Amino acid sequence: MDRQRLIFHIDVNSAFLSWESVYRLGKDPQCLDLRTVPSAVGGDAKSRHGVVLAKSTPAKKYGVVTGESLASAYRKCPDLIVVPSRFDFYIQASQSMMDLLSQYTPDHEKFSIDEIFLDMTETIHLFGSPLETANQIRQRIYEELGFTVNIGIAPNKLLAKMASDFEKPDRCHTLFYDEIPQKLWPLPVRDLFFVGGSAQKKLESLGIHTIGQLAASDPRVLKAHLGEKYALLIHQYANGIDNDPVGEREAVNKSYGNSLTLSRDVSDFDTAQQILLSLCETVGARLRADNVLCNCVCVELKTWDFRVYSHQATLPSSTDSTALIYENACKVLHEFWDLTPVRLIGIRTTKISEDGFSQMNLFESSQNQKMRTFEKAIDQIRCRYGVDSVKRASFLSETAIADHAAGKSKHLSGGSKETQ
């Protein structure tokens, strides 16, 4: 008989906010712990422009949500403490966690900068029971790295991710097959992974309000209202069915990307291009930090009704330049977007190669070479003095909808998830 799979999903609680607190407490142990007060990471507190990239649990109680504008967040919570982002340190904190988790199994998959799946099927016997092992991991992360996580324990990735979203923060939860009727099915249908606001409305119009009702529904009715592939997917998810394997960790990422769920729908090129520039800033910096180049740029859009579209273009030569990635991303956007209102914009760079082994481009202009040198110098300044120490002028306007370095991507194989 095959052994039942055992999957852990580790999710950092309020990741950017937690890591910012760890950084500040490391510099001054007596400073205010941002996790204990209404606070947020992102944007410019003085001008009140930009978006909320992460919020504390106390801020969440005021209704502050990730992706909304700072102006909106301040209206909900006038005493909100807003601090700039520090992506260089967040990447370090994330890597420290990944290194710790690699001690438990070689089979793991980085889901995003603050989430990872572990396949513990073949190694759990080395550490103890699933719950004991998960609690050991959770305690080690707090004691050694200074921040808290939630851990979901289940027989597949979908249920493990759902379990990690139960009561927060700093908790471990199980969701095995025999627990589905008690723990999963009573939840609102909107809580099911991959069910967005538009799908929620359609499901509720059919009298489906809970995950259990969705699990028991007739797939033929769902297909008639939601489309065959999507209906089948969420019906399987509601029944706890997910056969997606935990992918192996690779030496070089297959792609580098970022996406941002917007606080309002966007339907004009100027705003969309500014968001693309914001995302290209972080993607370009990550490429340069890993000494790799990309040869393909893909733009991804999720419309107001949760339909996902993408379009890509191969570059004339491999690059890590923010400017060149942004230039080509804008071309791609104009080629396929018909201005249908969108609620998420993403960018992904693929065909990744090591910088040191890429073929020299004999036709690269001296201007492009200077731009690469300039961008690497900017990276060094931001690494030393913080990511907000240097900003493009286009992000200083009070009307800017995006922060100058915003967004984080979260993807399961075969689909996208909104930033939480």
Residue tagged active-site, from 115, 281, 300, 375: 115
Helix ranges, 257-392 (H): 269-289, 322-336, 366-385
CA proximity to 66, closest of 10, 114, 31 = 114
Would you say 163 and 175 are in contact if contact means Cβ atoms under 8 Å apart?
Answer: yes
Residues 6+ apart with CB under 8 A from 181: 212
Would you say 20 and 86 are in contact if contact means Cβ atoms under 8 Å apart?
Answer: yes
Would you say 410 and 113 are in contact if contact means Cβ atoms under 8 Å apart?
Answer: no
Confirm whether 250 is a catalytic residue: no
The total number of residues shown for the chain amounts to 420
Tell me the residue type at 403: D
- What string of H, E and C letters represents the secondary structure of 67-104? CCEHHHHHHHCCCCEEECCCHHHHHHHHHHHHHHHCCC
Strands 172-174 and 39-41: unpaired
The helix/strand/coil state of 241 is coil
Measure the CA–CA gap between 208 and 216, rounded to whole angstroms. 10
Measure the CA–CA gap between 374 and 188, rounded to whole angstroms. 50
Measure the CA–CA gap between 8 and 151, rounded to whole angstroms. 6
Measure the CA–CA gap between 339 and 52, rounded to whole angstroms. 25
Q: Among all residues, which ones are annotated catalytic?
A: 115
